[in-house]
Amino acid sequence: MSKLTGKVAVVIGGQDGIGGAIVQRFAVEGATVYATSRRAEQSETTHGKGAVRARRVDASDPADIMAFFVSVEREAGQVDVLVVNAGIAEFATLDTVDDDHIDRTLGLNVRSLLFATKAATAIMPRGGAVVLVGSIAGAIGTKGYGVYGASKAAVRSFARTWANELAPRGIRVNVVAPGPTDTAMFAAASDEVRGTLTQLIPLGRMGRPDEVASAALFLVSDESSFITGAELPVDGGMAQV
């Protein structure tokens, strides 16, 4: 039996890259997956034993997020699984950080994540699961990415608190923390940048989106039924050894 048969899943930021891989994997495992993106055209497609319902949602707008979850409740009745993947990573050293940079980064990576989780868990039954997509950047100091790293540290903190708050309702909350992953963003990087990053990874290569999707699937499935408040790094050992 597939791991998510009959489940209703929402992936905020599910158009491509890591989010897209999670959407496809959840659908193959039998879930009906609502995949949001600012660029998505509304559509419904079948994947494996499940389905993907693409919806255009601006994850940086809490009002748009709330309206989206109202529509999901109307269509599906509940949300069994939530993954919040939408995020932004912009370069800015301490001497160049400005208000706009802070507002964009914390607005999407922290504020919107909070409101998406609030809306989803309001219609989540006992046995539900939340996975927040963090980053190993929340635990290391990467030059030029201080605000981004701080936003991902906030994600880790939220997971601990919400795991505690939601445990009485039987809802689990965990974090999957990718390291450098071979998405379109990194594909655009120079060979020098990619080579430098790869040298820092004990396994000698960048991760793949499907590997992060496998970790997310584990954390929302019954195979992790006694795990909550945890962070699962998917980084080839980069921040672990």
pTM of the predicted structure, to 2 decimals: 0.95
Class of domain 8-88+116-139+152-234: alpha beta
pLDDT tens readout for residues 193-219? 778 888 999 999 999 999 999 999 999
pLDDT score for 142: 86
pLDDT score for 223: 97
Residue 69's Cβ-count burial label (10 Å; 0-12, 13-18, 19+) is buried
- Write out the catalytic residue numbers: 148
Closest CA to 40 of 69, 11, 7, 67: 11
pLDDT score for 183: 87
- 3-class DSSP state of 50: strand
Quote the tokens at residue 4.
């998510």
pLDDT score for 194: 78
pLDDT score for 103: 95
* Residue showing tokens 């929302």: 220
- C-alpha 213/C-alpha 25 separation (Å) is 7
Q: What is the CA radius of gyration of the chain?
A: 17
- C-alpha 137/C-alpha 9 separation (Å) is 26
Ordered by start, the domain boundaries in the chain are 8-88+116-139+152-234
Quickly list DSSP for 63-104: HHHHHHHHHHHHHHS--SEEEE-------B-TTT--HHHHHH
β-strand pairing of 172-178 with 231-234: parallel
- C-alpha 65/C-alpha 151 separation (Å) is 19
Residues of the chain short of pLDDT 70, as ranges, are 1, 185, 188-189
β-strand pairing of 129-133 with 81-84: parallel
- C-alpha 173/C-alpha 118 separation (Å) is 12
pLDDT score for 161: 98
pLDDT tens readout for residues 42-51? 888 887 789 9
- C-alpha 28/C-alpha 6 separation (Å) is 12
